[in-house]
Structure 1
Amino acid sequence: MKFDNGVSNLTAAVAAALVGTALPFGAVAQAQEAADLPQAASASADHVIIGMGTAVMPVYQGADDYRVLPLPALDIAQGQFFVNLRDGAGVKAIETRDVTLGASVAMTQGYRRRDVPDGVRGVDFGAGARIFGSFRAGGVTATIGGTRGFAGGTRGVTVDGSLAYPVAVSTRVMLIPAAIVTWANGKYNDRYFGISAREAAASGLSQFEAGSGFKDASGTLTIVYRLTDRLSASATGGVTSLLGDVKNSPLVEHKTQPSGFLALTYRLGKIW
């Protein structure tokens, strides 16, 4: 039972390929799949991994309030097809030791109306079309992905880039530091962070419009502990800082925020 180079590369790819959303949601996906891949790669590229986790995250980016959220872990791969929390459901068109290119339908982030000041409307969680690519060299994985919302949510566009470098501390323990930056277009930023004239009149907040630009930068550290060949536990801690115009939104009470996630996952094996 050990983390070999192949497992490390696969884990780094997963840790780096984050959804183009706020860190709290991205960190959840990162933690789950960082824990999952050592199990999956040690047996087969085809796998079914399930589990449960608990996330502690802001109710929205910049909020003063946090919530504890139980979340299921799911990672299924069969040939070119996959389903996971990070990229949703899709196809990997190219997958080699050094390069992965794929497309999927992924979840897009929102927030509940009750979590924002009275008079400000919520943003529904939705779905978006996503394309992504991961490139591995020297133990480092660089990933870039783009998501365009088409249902619910902001229906805007986000582009995320990340770097991850896994470090095998022992045959059972792996550390995965990662750095992530996210760009968003004006439609996304205005819908998520903006305050319209109607909302300003209803809430007493100042009217605010944010254009396109870099939205946030994050740093995370995931610790994966492999309990058995099939069972793994993981913990992720991270910090996100808002960038550009969005950090000046009247909705933003804290420009820099921590988040965390704990998970326990189990590999069932191949689908068939």
Structure 2
Amino acid sequence: MTQFPFHNRLRRLAWAVGAVIVASPAVPVRAADFAEGDAAAIPPSSNFDNGRFGGIRQRLADWNVMVGVGAIFGPKFEGSDEMEVMPVPMISATIGRVNIDPLGISVDLLDTNGFKLAAKGGYEFGRDEDDSDHLKGLGDIDGGAVLGAKLSYEWGPMELYASVDKSIGGSDGLLGTVGANVSHHYDRFIFSAGASATFADDNHMESYFGVTAAQSARSGLREYEASAGLKRFDLEASITYMASEHWVVRGQAGVGFLTGDAKDSPIVQDDLQPSAMLIVGYKF
């Protein structure tokens, strides 16, 4: 399960890759998350022309392709007190060791005895001052590529993980996340919950939460220097319902708590960052 805040960077990422997200932590719905045994327990649909489309469908099934659509409710930007609802498309797939989801692409490098190490890549879309009146005068934060890695350990229904992400361009920031997730299967339902903490370096904090003298003069916000440290805590819970062999419905709610220099920034209007998501997906 991947944690990500529901702010502008995630909104644009979701649209750019035809996927869902989110800025408090959104967890993408992945077809590979559902065991073959669970899917087999659901009666298959007979309304399908296997003669014409069976080969294509089998390939999509082999790749664990899932497509869907839904909506996200969350802050306009990280630290905003304004909320909005956003329609979001979704797509995910697993091709061998390569995983594609709303957050980008990852490659499994190691998977043994419960431990998994993955390299990942994505894109940070930055922030536009036009996203909110409160950001006027702060200027835009450019986007940039993101490279990172994630180490996780699965222990029964629990997953412990640590990840690091480095932006190349844009903020040139470094983010580190540690967290834990737990899930439980019951009949056609999957119940999940998770908690995480996110750390950021000086570059990220200054870009998103600092206010320079020039920015202060243009925006009216006081000057502020944001230093590296713990940026936020996140809690979330979700329920996934496997309605049929292929149709999946997922609902999720979460809350983020900005802390440290992020919480004290004049850019932040509310350090409490709630979010919610509803997705309907089709698993091939």
TM-score (norm 1): 0.84
1:37 corresponds to which of 33, 37, 45: 33
Deviations 1:36-91 (A, max 9, x none): 621678577741111112111111111121222222211111111121113x1131
Three-state SS of the structure 1 residue aligned to 2:137 is coil
Deviations 1:163-196 (A, max 9, x none): 011122x211121010011000010011011111
- Asked if structure 2 preserves the Cα contact closer than 8 Å seen for 1:55 and 1:260, the reply is yes
Q: How does 1:85-164 map to 2 (within 5 A)?
A: 85-86=102-103, 88-96=104-112, 98-108=114-124, 110-114=126-130, 115=132, 116-152=134-170, 154-164=171-181
1:193 corresponds to which of 192, 197, 209: 209
Rate the CA distance shift 1:222–1:161 in 2: closer, same or farther, 3 A: same
**Percent of aligned pairs with the same amino acid:** 24
1:25 corresponds to which of 19, 23, 26: 23
- Asked if structure 2 preserves the Cα contact closer than 8 Å seen for 1:100 and 1:133, the reply is yes
The letter of the residue matching 1:50 is V
- Asked if structure 2 preserves the Cα contact closer than 8 Å seen for 1:36 and 1:232, the reply is no
Deviations 1:226-251 (A, max 9, x none): 11121110011011000111101001
Q: Which residue of 2 aligns with 1:205?
A: 221
Q: Which runs of 4+ in 1 moved over 6 A?
A: 20-23
Q: Which residue of 1 aligns with 2:191?
A: 175
Higher relative contact order (CA 8 A, sep 6+): 1
* 1:20 positional shift: 8.1
Structure 2 unpaired stretches of 5+: 11-21, 40-60
Three-state SS of the structure 2 residue aligned to 1:200 is helix
Q: State the distance in 2 between where 1:131 and 1:194 align.
A: 27
The letter of the residue matching 1:136 is E
Rate the CA distance shift 1:183–1:20 in 2: closer, same or farther, 3 A: farther
Q: Which residue of 2 aligns with 1:80?
A: 97
Of structures 1 and 2, the larger Rg is shown by 2
TM-score (norm 2): 0.80
Rate the CA distance shift 1:42–1:134 in 2: closer, same or farther, 3 A: farther
The letter of the residue matching 1:25 is A
Q: State the distance in 1 between where 2:245 and 2:110 align.
A: 28
Asked whether 1:64 is paired with 2:81, we answer yes
Q: State the distance in 2 between where 1:251 and 1:41 align.
A: 49
* 1:19 positional shift: 4.6
Q: State the distance in 2 between where 1:163 and 1:45 align.
A: 29
Deviations 1:81-114 (A, max 9, x none): 121113x113111124612211121233533211
Structure 1 unpaired stretches of 5+: 1-14
Q: Which residue of 2 aligns with 1:3?
A: none
* 1:200 positional shift: 0.3
Q: State the distance in 2 between where 1:120 and 1:39 align.
A: 47
* 1:151 positional shift: 3.4
Q: Which residue of 1 aligns with 2:236?
A: 220
The letter of the residue matching 2:156 is G
2:274 corresponds to which of 251, 258, 263: 258
Three-state SS of the structure 2 residue aligned to 1:27 is coil
Three-state SS of the structure 1 residue aligned to 2:135 is coil
Q: State the distance in 1 between where 2:212 and 2:183 align.
A: 44
